[in-house]
Structure 1
Amino acid sequence: MKFVKRIVLPFITSISLLSAPAALAKDYKMALGDAAGGTQWELGTKFAELLDEKSKGKLKVNLFPNGQLGNEQDTVNNASLGLLDFSVLAINNVTPFSPTVGLLTMPYVILSPEEAKSLTQGKIGEELVKNTVRDANVRIVGWAYSGFRVLTNSKRPIKSLKDLKGLVIRVPRNEIMMSTYQAWGVNPTPMAWSETFTGLQLGVVDGQDNPYITIDAMKFNEVQKYVTNIRYIFSIEPLIVSESVFQSQKPEVQAMILEAGKEATEHSYKFLLESEEKIKRSLIAKGMEIHTPVNAEKEWIDLAKKKVWPKFYDSIGGKAKLDEALATLGRKAH
């Protein structure tokens, strides 16, 4: 817990909106970083519906989208303290609190939705859940699958790394993601999620990366023109519950939470497969252009593997852990 305490302290002031939960709370609060309509909302609303159904109306979950209860890293802090019940957030915002989950954000490890599901719902996923309880006092009870983080910008089509030169790209405050852009020759600009739309609108940054579902939900088509289909990170957004809140519940309530999380996870996976192509077509109809990198991203991939993977072996649990993940996916060790 020493690691968590070092992180929690800077964010203590952000908890004023939240109240400590009762031991058998019937009304839970769930924070969402994204707007209503995206993957986080879909997972959260399905989870709330299932928990209501399983408890015969006794357990309610109230959703607070658009960062109303603090930014995504704030919500991990607040949940770790037992001051927030649930949060759905990007996996990269869990990484500072439990570094081994950074495995899921290593560039070009996950290359398909099926691989994302395989890692999160298999042995490696179970291990990451245990690590997050240990490190951050929060428990992952569900997973949202959002698709690959594609690159958008307002300046020009991007088909090769040389096209990136001179662009200012917003990235989350995540070391792995920033290092990836640096490997590609870009000095990225870390920016809070809540500031990103305004940053794009005002031209403080030229571009950003996020899945199609998020681009649509956040209406980035209003401030971005060009999309580049890259596959460097498959966006996974866990549903976390405060471990102290979870442990304060009766066993039957804990079972309902876990069951609802598992079923909502399957719903999220189906939602992605059914909706992404429709969303792409909708964004094109709204004026966005979609481009694909030349040579199947070979240059992007080679640089990421060479310059980024070795840099983060230690934080994700060692090179052997990455090799285990690749073997799980039927690929050779690096």
Structure 2
Amino acid sequence: MTTTKMRNTFAIAACTLLTALPISAIAQQTVNIKLAHNGNTNPDDPQNVGVDAFKEMVEERSNGSISVQIYPAGQLGDARTIVEGIQLGTIEMGDVENGPMGGFVPEAMLWDLPFIFRDIEHAHKVLDGEIGQAVQEEYLEAGIRHLAYNDGGFRYFTNDQRPIRTMDDLEGLKIRVMESEVMVDTLNAFGASAVPMSFGELYTALQQGVVDGQENPMNLIYSQRFYEVQDYLSLSGHFYYPRQYIASNEWWQSLDDEHQEIIAEAAKEASNIQRDSLADYEIEMRKVLEEHGMEINEVEKEAFIETAFEEIYPSYYETLGSGDPEKGEDIVKAVMATE
């Protein structure tokens, strides 16, 4: 048989085989997911515990027809770049903090408001309820499919100048914040000088004195070794820090129903795994940071909370209400009234 005839024979056989397979079986041969985040590579970090669980569940439940490749530590860019890649469809999925999301979905600024949540249980109740779902739906307008919220934890101040016990102690300090309009406005209202900066630049900025301090959850303060360049950790809990599993909506629409269900359910379950992991990890991290020499102190929050309510919240009612400030105020009140 000639080479050409052999090729034709193989091609016919392949077409016959594909025709004989169910459509779902054909589709299942083609799904590859790039899942990006800009956290660290420590396998014990709750973020990695979550994404690793997601990968395992998806690949197992799809019988290997879906492959998940995880790109941590900003390998595909910082948080904003990852979201842009998801919009363009060059990245299928991301586990991204809320900081830059207000630039894509203004309603997501709700989660950036200072002291909007009383505690972690309150945060979960709101995020997993009707209000959280309503914000999720707004992502579709930006070409993004929001699958689930997971925890970044509450954020705390660190600096190399002095303990922050009251709002007056922030006066004059240059504090790095995420690239979030709400966060910048909040730190400035608290008396600090807010410096928006990408996470990848932060350690060097602290080391060189470009900024005096920063604010992050304990697990990131530890994983990024900020204790090497920061002396004081103040337990302000001023921002809650949700992350979210998000996907390119255009890519999502190309999946069959079976694959969508597998991925969506795995994202929700991975979020719960990540939340549980963070709760335990934060307790451990406080002890470790003290062992590394950080001085940890409580914070008098009353003046912070009063400033947030009076100066920050009203500035964002119109944005949160999609142009209707009364609606935005009602949303904030509904969050705070959630039991």
What TM-score range do you get, normalising by the shorter chain? 0.7 to 0.9
> Is residue 2:239 matched to residue 1:233?
yes
Change (3 A) 1:122 1:157: same
Q: Any idea what SS the aligned residue of 2:309 has?
A: helix
Offset of residue 165 of structure 1: 2.0
Within a 5 Å distance, the mapping from 1:260-279 to structure 2 comes to: 260-279=266-285
Offset of residue 311 of structure 1: 0.6
The corresponding residue for 1:11 is none
1:152 counterpart letter in structure 2 = T
Offset of residue 245 of structure 1: 1.0
> Is residue 2:76 matched to residue 1:59?
no
Q: Any idea what SS the aligned residue of 2:163 has?
A: coil
Offset of residue 321 of structure 1: 3.9
The corresponding residue for 1:189 is 195
Within a 5 Å distance, the mapping from 1:88-107 to structure 2 comes to: 88-107=95-114
Q: Any idea what SS the aligned residue of 2:316 has?
A: helix
Offset of residue 322 of structure 1: 4.5
Q: Any idea what SS the aligned residue of 1:95 has?
A: helix
Q: Could you list the per-position Cα deviations for residues 139-173 of structure 1 after superposition, in whole angstroms to 9, with x for gaps in the alignment?
A: 11122212111011112111112211221111112
Q: Any idea what SS the aligned residue of 2:268 has?
A: helix
Offset of residue 185 of structure 1: 1.6
Structure 2 CA distance for aligned equivalents of residues 39 and 108 of structure 1: 23
Structure 1 CA distance for aligned equivalents of residues 328 and 259 of structure 2: 34
Structure 2 CA distance for aligned equivalents of residues 328 and 164 of structure 1: 28
The corresponding residue for 1:143 is 149
Offset of residue 121 of structure 1: 0.9
> Is residue 2:38 matched to residue 1:33?
yes
Structure 2 CA distance for aligned equivalents of residues 268 and 168 of structure 1: 32
> Is residue 2:308 matched to residue 1:304?
yes
Offset of residue 326 of structure 1: 3.6
Q: Could you list the per-position Cα deviations for residues 231-287 of structure 1 after superposition, in whole angstroms to 9, with x for gaps in the alignment?
A: 221110011111111111111000001110111111122112222111111111111
Structure 2 CA distance for aligned equivalents of residues 312 and 50 of structure 1: 39
Within a 5 Å distance, the mapping from 1:37-52 to structure 2 comes to: 37=42, 38-52=45-59
Structure 2 CA distance for aligned equivalents of residues 322 and 23 of structure 1: 46
> Is residue 2:135 matched to residue 1:128?
yes
Q: Could you list the per-position Cα deviations for residues 163-200 of structure 1 after superposition, in whole angstroms to 9, with x for gaps in the alignment?
A: 11221111112110011011112221111111111111
The corresponding residue for 1:247 is 253
Structure 2, unaligned runs of 5 or more: 1-26
Q: Could you list the per-position Cα deviations for residues 11-54 of structure 1 after superposition, in whole angstroms to 9, with x for gaps in the alignment?
A: xxxxxxxxxxx996433111111112334323211211111121
Q: Any idea what SS the aligned residue of 1:309 has?
A: helix
Offset of residue 325 of structure 1: 4.7
Structure 2 CA distance for aligned equivalents of residues 185 and 29 of structure 1: 41
Aligned counterpart in structure 2 of residue 286 of structure 1, from 284, 288, 292: 292
Structure 1, unaligned runs of 5 or more: 1-21
Q: Any idea what SS the aligned residue of 1:166 has?
A: coil
2:36 counterpart letter in structure 1 = A
Aligned counterpart in structure 1 of residue 115 of structure 2, from 96, 108, 115: 108
TM-score under structure 2 normalisation? 0.86
Decide whether the 8 Å contact of 1:150 with 1:209 is kept in 2. yes
> Is residue 2:327 matched to residue 1:320?
yes
State the Cα RMSD in Å: 1.8
Change (3 A) 1:107 1:328: closer
TM-score under structure 1 normalisation? 0.88
2:306 counterpart letter in structure 1 = D
